[in-house]
């Protein structure tokens, strides 16, 4: 059965939300906290080590109930069931979407279980020093060569879990920028470095070219046979990896039902296993699986990903905001936003609905941000006094990892103060001059988590995965394909051939043609 394909704007709930929006759109809502003593207790969800306060939003009980009606009317429950039961909901590619099956630890598919065992065994050999480089020395450095989903997840997680890291140095080669490749290679000794070539398709230009550059660099020091102890691959294209020169034993499989941007839970997470040990990788999977259970089974009004998705729809489609910020008050999460940008924008940046028709409402939130408190000294001015409304997720942790409570108290005081300042502004206060006036009324969600652990990180990532899925269902789009990135790849073939042949005559667009000439001239 295909996914329900309902135009959300034609639902009764949408129409009711439009009327309701007229009541709220210009309303300063600061008074709600004094008028409704139970507000903070009503608009919050407490689940395990997560406390999500969404009371500082421009909503009433009616807003939430209409948004919940919308979720019912578009068939969200049915869509969730279809995803978890492995129906081919990635319809434009004819594939199931089962990244959740990679972390369903009590019910693993046999091929997933055996791959996890292989990852465990391999990472333990690397970590214990049993696996030796060609000159007999243990591995000191691991390099993940991959891009997009084959890079952003592993890099974000290894950074986020820095506290749980062991002695291995982990590097990432993603960009086709040869200067970057060179800078990374400068730090490495071929005798003690392991390269993990990560590409689901094993055809991605950047990854294959970079892996070839790295292999050539490696072979300047040693002979071809030694590739086997220094290069492994993660791919769904086993033959592609074999053709590259990696032996079948050194290939960690993945499957077409795992999308690239949802693949850190698969063997794409091999560099994570090396960085933090398999037991911590398993804890990440367990955390994500707990969030899966919450998402699948909890009532919609107490369901964190669903409530966050509905709030986002409220701002995107009624207030017509175009972007959302995510600010984590933890330096460890400094790679979270780039990771979320791929997950959310590659998934929901679509303008054709599930019936194949052009969409005339907003989809695909622009996600941006950085860590707090740094962000306060950068772009927060615009959040407070700019002309745009930018709903923001504030992520914070109750406990620091290194025991520095003095700093942590200041960090969290800022985390709390910002949502309050954004909401309250200078409402009902005398200000000296108009420049010191703060309108307030700025929506935020506070996601307060006990501690940054592999488990809570798994939950947090899965929370955003499910949020984007819910939004895609409501927007009536296919979230799990990414045809939009293909066109650029095709055009790049033409521009590359012009550059290599030093001849731009085949290029139709005169601006591009001139640019190529200029590039070749200099």
Ligand X SMILES: O=P(O)(O)OC[C@H]1O[C@](O)(CO)[C@@H](O)[C@@H]1O
Binding site for ligand X (CB under 6 A): 147-150, 199-201, 204, 207, 260-261, 346, 482, 485
Cβ partners under 8 Å of residue 449, min gap 6: 49, 50, 51, 395, 396, 397, 398, 456, 459, 460
Determine the residue with CB nearest ligand X.
260
Catalytic, 377? Answer: yes
CB of 203 to ligand X, least distance (A): 7
Burial annotation 160-183 (CB, 10 A radius, 16+ → b, else e): bbeebbeebebbbbbebeeeebee
CA atoms of 331 and 354, how far apart (whole Å)? 39
CB of 485 to ligand X, least distance (A): 4
Q: Closer to ligand X by CB, 253 or 440: give it.
A: 253
Q: Closer to ligand X by CB, 371 or 477: give it.
A: 477
Helix H or strand E segment including 19 = helix 12-24
How far is residue 136 CA from its own chain's centroid?
38
Q: Closer to ligand X by CB, 142 or 390: give it.
A: 142
Question: CA Rg, the chain, in Å?
Answer: 25
CA atoms of 432 and 59, how far apart (whole Å)? 31
Task: Please report the DSSP string for 93-149 in residue order.
Answer: TTB---GGGGG-GGG--HHHHHHHHHHHHHHHHHHHT-SB-TTSPBP-EEEEE--GG
β-bridge mates for residue 198, sequence order: 234
The total number of residues shown for the chain amounts to 522
Q: Which of these is catalytic: 489, 493, 506, 518?
A: 489
Q: Burial level of 374, CB count in 10 A (0-12/13-18/19+)?
A: middle
CB of 115 to ligand X, least distance (A): 16
147 conformational bin, left if phi > 0, alpha if psi -120 to 50, beta if neither: beta
Q: Closer to ligand X by CB, 65 or 201: give it.
A: 201
Q: Which of 23, 60, 54, 31 is nearest to 41 (CA)?
A: 54
Q: Which of 391, 366, 362 is nearest to 476 (CA)?
A: 362
Q: Which of these is catalytic: 87, 346, 459, 466?
A: 346
CB of 200 to ligand X, least distance (A): 4
CB of 354 to ligand X, least distance (A): 20
- CB-side neighbour CA atoms (13 Å) of 108: 16
CB of 146 to ligand X, least distance (A): 6
Catalytic, 399? Answer: no
Q: Which of these is catalytic: 377, 388, 406, 502?
A: 377
Q: Closer to ligand X by CB, 346 or 393: give it.
A: 346
Q: Closer to ligand X by CB, 260 or 391: give it.
A: 260
CB 278 within 8 A of CB 49: no
CB of 503 to ligand X, least distance (A): 28
Q: Closer to ligand X by CB, 199 or 363: give it.
A: 199
Q: Give me 364's structure tokens.
A: 């695909």
Q: Closer to ligand X by CB, 261 or 459: give it.
A: 261
Catalytic, 230? Answer: no
CB of 487 to ligand X, least distance (A): 11
Catalytic residue list: 346, 377, 489
């Amino acid at each position: 059965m295909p996914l329900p394909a309902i135009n959300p704007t034609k639902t009764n709930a949408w129409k009711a939300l439009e009327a309701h929006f007229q009541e709220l759109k210009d309303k300063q809502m600061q008074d709600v906290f004094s008028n409704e003593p139970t507000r903070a207790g009503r608009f919050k969800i407490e689940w395990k080590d997560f406390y999500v306060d969404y009371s500082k939003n421009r909503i009433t009980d009616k807003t939430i109930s209409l948004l919940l009606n919308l979720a019912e009317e578009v068939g969200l429950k049915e869509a969730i069931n279809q995803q978890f039961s492995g129906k081919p909901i990635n319809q434009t590619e004819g594939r199931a979407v089962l990244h959740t099956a990679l972390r369903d630890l009590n019910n693993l598919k046999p091929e997933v279980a055996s791959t996890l065992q292989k990852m465990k065994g391999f990472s333990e050999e690397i970590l214990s020093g049993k696996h030796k480089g060609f000159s007999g020395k243990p591995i000191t450095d691991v390099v993940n060569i991959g891009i997009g989903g084959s890079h952003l997840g592993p890099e974000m997680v290894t950074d986020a879990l820095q506290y749980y890291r062991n002695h291995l140095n982990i590097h990432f080669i993603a960009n086709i920028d040869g200067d970057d490749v060179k800078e990374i290679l400068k730090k490495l000794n071929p005798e003690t470095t392991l390269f993990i070539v990560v590409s689901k398709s094993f055809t991605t230009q950047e990854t294959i070219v970079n892996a070839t550059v790295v292999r050539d660099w490696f072979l300047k020091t040693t002979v071809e046979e030694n590739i086997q102890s220094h290069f492994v691959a993660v791919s769904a294209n086993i033959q592609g990896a074999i053709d590259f020169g990696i032996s079948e034993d050194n290939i960690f499989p993945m499957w077409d039902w795992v999308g690239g941007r949802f693949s850190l839970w698969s063997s794409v997470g091999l560099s994570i296993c090396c960085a933090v040990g398999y037991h911590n990788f398993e804890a990440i999977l367990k955390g994500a699986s707990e969030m899966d259970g919450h998402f699948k089974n909890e009532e919609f009004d107490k369901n964190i990903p669903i409530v966050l998705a509905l709030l986002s729809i409220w701002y995107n489609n009624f207030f017509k905001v175009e972007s959302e910020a995510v600010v984590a008050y933890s330096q460890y999460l400094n790679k979270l936003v780039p990771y979320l940008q791929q997950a959310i924008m590659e998934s929901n940046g679509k303008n054709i609905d599930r019936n194949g028709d052009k969409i005339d409402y907003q989809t695909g939130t622009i996600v941006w941000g950085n860590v707090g408190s740094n962000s306060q000294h950068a772009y927060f001015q615009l959040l407070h006094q700019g002309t745009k409304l930018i709903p923001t997720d504030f992520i914070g942790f109750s406990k620091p990892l290194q025991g520095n409570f003095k700093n942590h108290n200041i960090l969290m005081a800022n985390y709390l103060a910002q949502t309050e300042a954004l909401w309250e502004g200078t409402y009902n206060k005398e200000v000296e001059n108009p420049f010191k006036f703060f309108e307030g009324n700025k929506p935020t969600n506070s996601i307060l988590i006990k501690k940054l652990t592999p488990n809570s990180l798994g939950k947090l990532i899965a929370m955003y995965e499910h949020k984007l899925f819910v939004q895609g269902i409501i927007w009536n789009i296919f979230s799990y394909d990414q045809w939009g990135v293909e066109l650029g790849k095709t055009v790049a073939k033409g521009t590359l051939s012009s550059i290599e042949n030093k001849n731009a005559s085949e290029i139709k667009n005169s601006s591009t043609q001139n640019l190529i000439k200029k590039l070749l001239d200099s």
